[in-house]
Structure 1
């Protein structure tokens, strides 16, 4: 059983519990800036800056982080959007983290970073302030992805549709995803290869699709490579979480867009 298999099995348990106990506010999503529009209109590399305490691949990253203080530093340093890990068992995150960041950062696009397998998780993310949800192609069948994508869009949410190979990219294109995240980390082996962005982005010809390179982004050179093969945004977690100077790190990776089709 892969790590992804274990995570999805845990999500099935969590969804069952949610359906038994969760009382919805049934509120409409908070109106925030559009992630899609922000990426498409930017002249520099957009950065989705992530609040992440730990991960299965890296172990503890920053367990003592104050999510609000971290997110405020990201906002001040020019992040395009904030991503908050909400998975508890594997990433030590929580919906409370998302909610507190949502209250403190009212305008930036806000991603609930979790493994979505059911509509109830999307409702929960909305109730806690998210304006973006993540869908992972490797986690679900195409009909499930199509259902969750359509539901999220019906609520006015942006969807970061994550793929890590050509077959998954074709699924994203069939469903009509307008923000495609290319994860350089194989979720089954957790190996990281930036060439994944180059290989998969070559299939995405439509300039109206925003490409986000995810995982393994550490240096300005990494960002320049991603930009050169078509990415307009990067999702950066560990590098920013470990940074001693977030503003300097952010300035280093928010490079001008030259080669990316806009």
Structure 2
């Protein structure tokens, strides 16, 4: 049996507000809570989401976040990385978050191969950013006083596509196509949608199912997080249905002969 003083191994969520907000229940669902329920008594799910961060910001704090594994420091078994929504901002006078596409890809590779992460030999899942609803985002931008759009649905898609490309270039990284899954679900939810129409969320088009999945235009709602959970779930575990892999014994093992 593992020493009771040794910390549980971890599943780490590392990214921007899309992970920071994943702990908050929305429409009766919390992604982080669902993931912790899946891993209960085996792994701890740790949220290291930083609202507003781009990949340059994330690289800056990375060395401080994950000490090497030891007898008293938890080992990271899985790390989910979701960055790029802020890198994809447009370079306008009232927003400085933008990271050029080529630099974004370099930063992602630097994160995926960073010695601080690799010291744990974790399974790495790289999640690309979901679709941007530019129709709703423009409304919010004008409310905030930007005077123009701070983000573009088409530009954001190029960053989501780039994340999948980077995942394919780094051995051992599992790509999670959140963009594709959310957009497909949004299209299914949109009455009368045709592939010949403008993409959902694009100027001149309609919001359709994105109104539910990405309600503020940028961040996932509860149904959007459900889509993410279903994408991630097959890559965590599998766990022993007998519960013999619990870090601390199941109560029936401690109390033999007891009925459930």
Q: For the pair shown, which has the larger CA radius of gyration, 1 or 2?
A: 2
Structure having the higher strand fraction is 1
TM-score by length of 1: 0.31
